[in-house]
Amino acid sequence: MGLNRNVSLMTALRYKGQGPFLTYILHRIGGLGMAVFISIHLLASFLGGSGGRFVNNIYENWVFQIFIFFCILFHAINGLRITILDLFPKLILYHRQAIMIEWVAFIAVYGFSVFAIIRTALGG
C-alpha cells in the first residue's frame, strides 16, 4: 500500500528534518507550483479570449508575481545545489554549508526581485 506509512499526520508535521528537509519540501512546492501555474499560463495564452485574458491578468498581478518568483528562484537555486553535490559527491560532506550558501544566494536574488516587483506595483 502506497499511502500506509504507519506515521500519523501530527508526527509527520513534527518531523525534525531541519534545514535539509525544509529545502526538500520547498523544492517540491516550487516545482509543483511551476508545473501547475506555468501549464495554466500556457493554456490561457493559447486559448486567449476573455477567459485567457482574465487568467493572465491574475498572473501579472504583483502578489502572484511574488509567489511564482519564489517558486522559480528557490527551485532553480536549490536545484543548482543538488546538481553540484550530485555531480561532485565528495562535496556531500559539506551539504549543510552548501545550504547556507544557497540561502544567501536565494535571499539576495529573490530580495532584489521582490523589491523590483513591489516598486513597479507602487508606480515605479
Which residues in this chain contact another protein in the complex, by CB under 8 A? 1-3, 28, 31-32, 34-35, 38-39, 42-43, 45-46, 60, 65, 69, 72-73, 76, 79-80, 82-83, 86-87, 112-113, 115-117, 119-120
To the nearest whole angstrom, how small is the minimum distance from the Cβ of residue 37 to another protein? 11
Nearer to another protein by C-beta: 95 or 113? 113
- Please answer whether residues 50 and 63 qualify as being in contact, where contact means their C-beta atoms are separated by less than 8 angstroms: no
- What is the Cα–Cα distance from 120 to 111, expressed in whole angstroms? 14
Distance in Å from the first CA to the final CA of the chain: 54
- What is the Cα–Cα distance from 8 to 110, expressed in whole angstroms? 35
To the nearest whole angstrom, how small is the minimum distance from the Cβ of residue 113 to another protein? 5
Maximum Cα–Cα distance across the chain: 54
To the nearest whole angstrom, how small is the minimum distance from the Cβ of residue 80 to another protein? 7
To the nearest whole angstrom, how small is the minimum distance from the Cβ of residue 40 to another protein? 11
Nearer to another protein by C-beta: 83 or 97? 83
Nearer to another protein by C-beta: 34 or 99? 34
Give the CA distances from residue 79 to residues 31, 41, 95, 106, in Å, rounded to whole numbers and listed in that order. 10, 23, 13, 12
